[in-house]
């Protein structure tokens, strides 16, 4: 073997070298990733047991050269087979005839006969191909392998790699989790076997609460068992799919932007999101932006007209100077040196001109908003004098308008712009429209008819592209032939603007996005969080992943019944029907010789209409493996069909919202949709680029934040009370991993923690007021248990911070708002959810605003009084009163009273410290506490102290008759 043929190590750049047998050193037998022996040993010593390319653990090396060759050949053959499968391969199975009503004279289904005849034709064509291959001189398999060896060694560089967390960080973390679990068991054994007889009710309440908290901790902690990081290679993506002189091979992407009320969701915010999409760093012909106006507002339509015109200037400016971010409002508001890395002499001049154009554009949009504040009595009229079809937002036809694209305007430099489409689905009284989930499903159908991109990226109207290469980051996973085959979506973390540095109300939700989601990425993938997610369109259609085997057939007898058949019959039936549809699509793709009439008849008889609805054009789009629309399609016909698929009755008697698309039944349709996909066997990926992919605006004042948490918690309660509850849904197929199921269970049961939490936060005040305590006098063993539990909690948090990179302040804010939200929004969500799901009563908690004085972060300090503020305010007051009463009692009781007081006061201050951000939010100021609040606090504390010392109501009363009798006996 010549030394020149030895590949270079991808880490150190030196030659890989040879082993003892004189052969090229192979570190990973699965992908032959070039790595030298020294770098391999270094990676293993650092704790990286998995290959940097494919992520598969390194196998034990064998000394024999023949064994090495066998392993390499086997892996090469497996790789070749996997590449032949294709991105959207289907399973072949027998198609059911239940849904067919057309039969021939002998009683056999007509469409089945056609399928059988097409199968025969397909077999004949395959035989002809085989005969042709035999005539040609075949190449021996050995020569095939020798020719493929250099190709495999010089394989395409990876698009992404999995970077496991170092064992030096992860092993101690897992060890502490196990130790904490053991300590919890010993702790509960002590607590249960040592009741407090003098305060039995308080002791029993505390035991129940602590058991629930331990259960919640297990559900939250164990899905973090295998956290991973991922790294993408954008340059490898470009090298593979964007070769010079050839058309771009990158897949097309349809962007979805949803909005409802332009007065609550300002059109300028939505416009910035749209502009950032139109200026994305991606081939123009591969991008389409669909804006869903579910309120049918003429203001939204007119603002998009202005946005399309301004995009002709903004898009070429962004691409010419490679600016970030590409949302103009946020770009021009940056407090940075915008001249950095901009060497073009014309940049300053063009930037000033663009900023002036943007200010003029803002004036025009704001003028539209001012005009829309007062609706004319006769309703809005368009420029041609005809009434606006959406004057009645609850009763209007479907509307579609294509602004930009192939037939639209070009930019100022004469280049093509991405397609921009306005969509407002039809609404009529008496139809259930399913809010955001229904709007998203309407966009799925419209986009399938008009552009049919294989991937979909959905955004909220206030989430703009902060990283112009975000789509390329997702394509590193979705377009990888090995990784992307089983991916249903790529989820990006949510990042926010306009939040103060201290993040008082945990609006950034850093612990969830940087800890929990990275943990789920190591199992079956992160949950879908509603925005910033790139979907595989085929997964939204309800299909199983290509590599997922069919469900095993259950075999049972009368004496030994099968467990599979009795576990979840309905789920097995639904999966079987889905497999039939998969097989039908496969048959349609494989049949070569058939006419259009036969295919249209087959489509109408193969359950497609019962699944997807009465649109042959849409059904045809689901059969296109790589997406796209036929070049011969008539644009006018496509627009007409797009109007048809967004009609209000299109989803009736179909699987939309039940098995395909966004799933209905909860206000948190995102969790439900991702859960259904992963129950079918799909996995997801968490992508965290160095520059955040998307940024949005968060409701930052206290009341709005609590209402946001209330909506999320209410959706979780709705899922818990539905048939899709992870406690019992999807067990039949066995496709959802156990730790993943635990994570989904945690997402639906966490609101119920509010009941034990509010009881536990009340216990300190009761203990201080009554002089009782929930824990008996501690022995030495009990003290060790309490100390060990306390230290294990701290150590778990510290090690979690170590591998996740989250700051201790973020962790503390998350802990604080867990208590604040738990005793307010989560509590109301539980009661509201049961009223809504069981009694059909829908309650709303309205807020009233009060102006703020502070200019910077002024919205943060607005006070909006709402019912949600009552429970935490009550807890703060009674715990403060309890502390005052406890100290007063200790002053009266002497030296011996101070020892028992310490534990009770510590317990009360734990509650007060956790509720401190809430207390600060009630004050409504940024830098100082209002004087009136201080005066009232001192006055109330003094009054309660004096009353407590004078009355002391919890001291046992002495019988007055006994006192009078004693007095008469001594002749008082």
Residues 6 or more apart whose CB falls under 8 angstroms from that of 365 comprise 267, 268, 271, 303, 306, 307
Give the integer Cα–Cα distance in Å for 77 and 84. 11
Please check if 264 is assigned to a binding site.
Answer: yes
Bridge partner residues of 696 (DSSP):
463, 496
d(CA 260, CA 265): 7
Residue closest to 530 by CA, chosen among 747, 261, 825, 280: 747
Sequence-ordered list of residues with C-beta below 8 angstroms from that of 455, at least 6 positions apart, any chain:
251, 252, 253, 254, 474, 475, 478, 534, 535, 536, 537
d(CA 295, CA 183): 55
Task: Tell me, yes or no, if 294 is annotated catalytic.
Answer: yes
Decide: helix, strand or coil at residue 820. Answer: helix
Q: What are the E-state strand segments in 434-524? A: 455-460, 463-465, 487-491, 495-497
Would you tell me how many other CB atoms lie within 10 Å of the CB of residue 235? 9
Helix axes 669-679, 702-720, angle to 10 degrees: 40
Give the integer Cα–Cα distance in Å for 632 and 634.
Answer: 6
DSSP bridge partners of 686: 491
Q: Is 265 annotated as a binding residue?
A: yes
Cis peptide before 497 (omega within 30 of 0): no
Residue 936's Cα: distance from chain center in Å? 45
Beta bridge partners of 162: 230
Q: Give the DSSP letter of residue 486.
A: G
- Of 248, 252, 330, whose CA–CA distance to 289 is shortest? 252
Contact 544, 660 (CB under 8 A): no
From CA 84, how far away is CA 798, in angstroms rounded?
47
Can you read off the two tokens belonging to residue 214?
Answer: 């331990």
Say whether 403 sits in a helix, a strand or coil.
Answer: strand
Ligand-binding annotation for 435, yes or no, is: yes
Measure Cα distances from 423 to 186, 290, 291, 393, 540 in Å: 60, 7, 6, 14, 20
Task: Say which residue the tokens 């416009």 belong to.
Answer: 271
* Residue 294 marked in a binding site: yes
Closest CA to 462 of 324, 694, 699, 270: 270
Cβ atoms of 180 and 792 closer than 8 Å: yes
**Tally of helices (H runs) and strands (E runs) in the chain:** 34, 13
Contact 640, 646 (CB under 8 A): no
| Whole-angstrom distance, CA of residue 847 vs CA of residue 853 | 19
**Exposed/middle/buried for 908, CB within 10 Å: 0-12, 13-18, 19+?**
buried
Q: Give the active site residue among 99, 293, 294, 568.
A: 294
Q: What is the longest distance spanned by two Cα atoms in the chain?
A: 134
Tell me if 471 sits within 8 A of 232, measured CB to CB: no
User: Pick the catalytic residue: 503, 514, 521, 670?
Assistant: 670
Gap between the Cα atoms of 441 and 436, Å rounded: 9
- Integer-rounded Cα Rg, in Å, for the chain is 33
β partners of residue 259? 293
Strand 253-259 to strand 399-404: parallel, antiparallel, or no bridges (unpaired)? Answer: unpaired
**CA–CA separation, 10 vs 787, rounded Å?**
49
Q: Which residue is it, tokens 């990158």?
A: 250
CA pair distance 463, 814, nearest whole angstrom: 22
Look up residue 364 and give its two tokens: 């025009």
Q: Among all residues, which ones are annotated catalytic?
A: 294, 670
In the annotated binding site, the residues are: 258, 264-265, 294, 435-436, 460
In the annotated binding site for UDP-alpha-D-glucose, the residues are: 258, 264-265, 294, 435
């Amino acid at each position: 073997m010549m030394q020149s043929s030895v590949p270079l190590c991808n880490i150190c750049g030196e030659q890989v070298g040879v082993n003892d047998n004189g052969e090229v050193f192979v570190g990973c037998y699965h992908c032959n990733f070039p790595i030298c022996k020294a770098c391999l040993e270094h990676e293993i010593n650092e704790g990286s047991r998995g290959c940097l390319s494919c992520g598969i653990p390194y196998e034990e090396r064998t000394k024999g050269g023949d064994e090495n060759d066998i392993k390499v050949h086997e892996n090469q053959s497996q790789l070749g087979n996997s590449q032949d499968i294709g991105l959207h391969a289907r399973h072949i199975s027998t198609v059911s005839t239940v849904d067919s009503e057309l039969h021939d004279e002998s009683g056999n289904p007509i469409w089945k006969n056609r399928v059988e005849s097409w199968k025969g034709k397909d077999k004949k064509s395959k035989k002809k191909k085989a005969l042709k291959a035999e005539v040609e001189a075949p190449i021996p398999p050995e020569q095939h392998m020798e020719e493929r060896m250099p190709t495999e060694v010089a394989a395409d560089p990876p698009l992404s790699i999995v970077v496991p967390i170092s064992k030096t960080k992860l092993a101690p973390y897992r060890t502490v989790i196990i130790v904490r679990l053991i300590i919890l068991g010993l702790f509960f054994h002590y607590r249960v076997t040592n009741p407090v007889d003098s305060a039995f009710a308080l002791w029993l309440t505390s035991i129940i609460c602590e058991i629930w908290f331990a259960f919640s901790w297990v559900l939250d902690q164990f899905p973090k068992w295998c956290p991973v990081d991922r790294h993408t290679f954008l340059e490898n993506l470009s090298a593979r799919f964007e070769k010079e002189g050839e058309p771009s091979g990158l897949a097309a992407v349809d962007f979805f932007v949803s909005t409802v009320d332009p007065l609550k969701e300002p059109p300028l915010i939505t416009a910035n999101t749209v502009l950032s999409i139109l200026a994305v760093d991606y081939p123009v012909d591969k991008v389409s932006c669909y804006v869903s106006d579910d309120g049918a507002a003429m203001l939204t339509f007119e603002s998009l007209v202005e946005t399309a015109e301004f995009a002709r200037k903004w898009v070429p400016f962004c691409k010419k100077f490679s600016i970030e971010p590409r949302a103009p409002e946020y770009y021009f508001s940056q407090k940075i040196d915008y001249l950095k890395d901009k060497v073009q002499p014309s940049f300053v001049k063009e930037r000033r001109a663009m900023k002036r154009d943007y200010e003029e554009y803002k004036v025009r949009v704001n003028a539209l908003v001012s005009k829309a504040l007062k609706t004319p009595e006769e309703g809005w009229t368009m420029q041609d004098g005809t009434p606006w079809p959406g004057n009645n937002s609850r009763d209007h036809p479907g509307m579609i308008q294509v602004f930009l694209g192939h037939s639209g305007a070009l930019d100022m430099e004469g280049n093509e712009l991405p397609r921009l489409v306005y969509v407002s689905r039809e609404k009529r009284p008496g139809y259930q429209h399913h809010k955001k989930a229904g709007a998203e499903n309407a966009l799925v159908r419209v986009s399938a008819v008009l552009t049919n991109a294989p991937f979909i990226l959905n955004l909220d109207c206030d989430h703009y592209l902060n990283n112009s290469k975000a789509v390329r980051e997702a394509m590193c996973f979705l377009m990888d032939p090995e990784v992307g085959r089983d991916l249903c979506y790529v989820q990006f973390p949510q990042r926010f603007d306009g939040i103060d540095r201290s993040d008082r109300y945990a609006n950034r939700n850093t612990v969830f996005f940087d800890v929990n989601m990275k943990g789920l990425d190591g199992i079956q993938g992160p949950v879908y969080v509603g925005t910033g997610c790139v979907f595989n369109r085929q997964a939204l259609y309800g299909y199983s992943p290509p590599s997922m085997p069919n469900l095993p057939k259950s075999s049972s007898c009368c004496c030994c019944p099968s467990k599979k058949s009795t576990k979840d019959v309905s789920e097995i039936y639904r999966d079987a029907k889905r497999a039939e549809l998969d097989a039908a699509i496969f048959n349609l793709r494989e049949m070569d010789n058939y006419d259009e009439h036969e295919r249209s008849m087959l489509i109408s008889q193969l359950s497609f209409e019962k699944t997807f609805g009465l649109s042959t054009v849409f059904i045809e789009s689901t059969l296109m493996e790589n997406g796209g629309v036929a070049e011969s399609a008539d644009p006018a016909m496509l627009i007409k069909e797009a109007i048809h698929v967004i009609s209000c009755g299109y989803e009736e008697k179909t699987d939309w919202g039940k098995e395909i698309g966004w799933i209905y039944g909860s206000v948190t349709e995102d969790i439900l949709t991702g859960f259904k996909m992963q129950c079918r066997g799909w996995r997801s990926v968490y992508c965290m680029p160095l520059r955040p992919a998307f940024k949005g605006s968060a409701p930052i004042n206290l009341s709005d934040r609590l209402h946001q948490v209330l909506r999320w918690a209410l959706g979780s309660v709705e899922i818990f009370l539905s048939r899709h509850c992870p406690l019992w849904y999807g067990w039949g197929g066995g496709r959802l991993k156990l730790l993943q199921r635990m994570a989904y269970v945690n997402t639906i049961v966490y609101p119920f923690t509010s009941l034990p939490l509010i009881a536990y936060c009340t216990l300190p005040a009761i203990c201080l007021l009554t002089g009782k305590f929930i824990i008996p006098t501690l022995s030495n063993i009990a003290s060790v248990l309490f100390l060990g539990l306390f230290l294990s909690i701290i150590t778990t948090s510290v090690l979690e911070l170590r591998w996740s990179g989250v700051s201790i302040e973020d962790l503390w804010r998350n802990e604080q708002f867990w208590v604040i939200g738990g005793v307010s929004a989560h509590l109301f969500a539980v009661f509201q959810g049961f009223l809504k799901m069981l009694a059909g009563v829908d309650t709303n908690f309205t807020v009233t605003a009060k102006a703020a004085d502070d200019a910077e972060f002024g919205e943060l300090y607005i006070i909006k009084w709402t019912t949600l503020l009552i429970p935490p305010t009550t807890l703060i007051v009674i715990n403060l009163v309890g502390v005052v009463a406890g100290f007063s009692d200790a002053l009266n009781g002497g030296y011996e009273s101070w020892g028992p007081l310490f534990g009770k006061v510590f317990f009360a201050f734990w509650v007060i410290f956790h509720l401190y951000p809430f207390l600060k939010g009630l004050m409504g100021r940024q830098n100082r506490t209002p004087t009136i609040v201080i005066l009232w606090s001192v006055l109330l504390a003094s009054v309660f102290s004096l009353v407590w010392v004078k009355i002391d109501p919890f001291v046992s009363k002495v019988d007055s008759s006994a006192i009078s009798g004693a007095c008469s006996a001594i002749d008082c």
